[in-house]
């Protein structure tokens, strides 16, 4: 899997025992549909999807920070391996615009705020919003995948 580095994308893999490739794909599709993924498409042993902020879901939805993703299912000796690649382009653009365009002018125009201080506040804000979502998704996505494969498709 070719992936761009932080902050554009993340890739990794999880393994689950006692599941066939077909069961895994069915369960992943079901879990992604339940998370309201859009453009959900199966291609052979891979599932492609889109997430993002512009969907009517809770901001705790695991797919909110993810622009799009691919899950590739491969058989192993005792189960399956899921290689995933997800991108964060939409979140990168939204957070950068939100911090720079909407929040930035207020911070920079605040009385007694130096340019360095304002840029520091904006940098911390960007890191909190983008970095926090990036880290949480990097931690939550593998758990979501394992949990999805551990229960039968609905």
pLDDT category at 154 given cuts 50, 70, 90 is: low
**Considering only CA atoms, which of 73, 21, 19, 71 is closest in space to residue 49?**
71
Q: Using one digit for the tens of pLDDT, what is the confidence trace for 16-65? A: 999 999 999 999 999 999 999 999 999 999 999 999 988 889 989 999 99
Do the beta carbons of residue 13 and residue 81 sit within 8 Å? yes
Q: Please tell me the predicted confidence (pLDDT) of residue 4.
A: 53
Query: With 60 as the cut, is the pLDDT of residue 3 above it?
Result: no
What's 41's DSSP letter? E
What residues contact 7, with CB distance under 8 A and at least 6 apart?
88, 92, 130, 134
pLDDT at 1 over 60: no
Report which of 54, 33, 64 is spatially closest to residue 136, judged by C-alpha positions. Answer: 64
Task: Decide: 8 and 129 in contact? Cβ < 8 Å.
Answer: no
Sign of the Cα torsion 14, 16, 21, 22 reads negative
- Identify the CATH number of the domain defined by range 9-149: 3.30.310
- Mean pLDDT calculated for residue range 150-154: 68
CB under 8 Å to 99, separation ≥6 — which residues?
122, 125, 126, 129
pTM (2 d.p.): 0.86
pLDDT in tens, 64-78: 999 999 999 999 999
How is the chain split into domains, by residue range?
Answer: 9-149
| pLDDT at residue number 5 | 57
């Amino acid at each position: 899997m070719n992936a761009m580095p932080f902050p554009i994308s993340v890739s990794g893999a999880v393994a689950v025992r006692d599941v066939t490739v077909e069961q895994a794909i069915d369960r992943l599709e079901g879990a992604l549909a339940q998370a309201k993924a859009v453009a959900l498409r199966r291609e052979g042993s891979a599932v492609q999807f889109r997430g993002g902020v512009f969907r009517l879901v809770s901001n705790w939805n695991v797919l909110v920070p993810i622009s799009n993703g691919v899950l590739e299912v491969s058989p192993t000796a005792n189960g399956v391996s899921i290689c995933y690649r997800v991108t964060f382009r939409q979140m990168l653009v939204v957070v950068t615009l939100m911090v720079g365009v909407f929040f930035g002018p207020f911070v920079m125009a605040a009385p007694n705020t130096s340019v360095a201080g304002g840029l520091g506040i904006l940098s911390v804000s960007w890191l909190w919003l983008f970095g926090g979502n990036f880290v949480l998704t990097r931690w939550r996505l593998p758990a979501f995948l394992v949990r999805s494969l551990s229960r039968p498709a609905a």
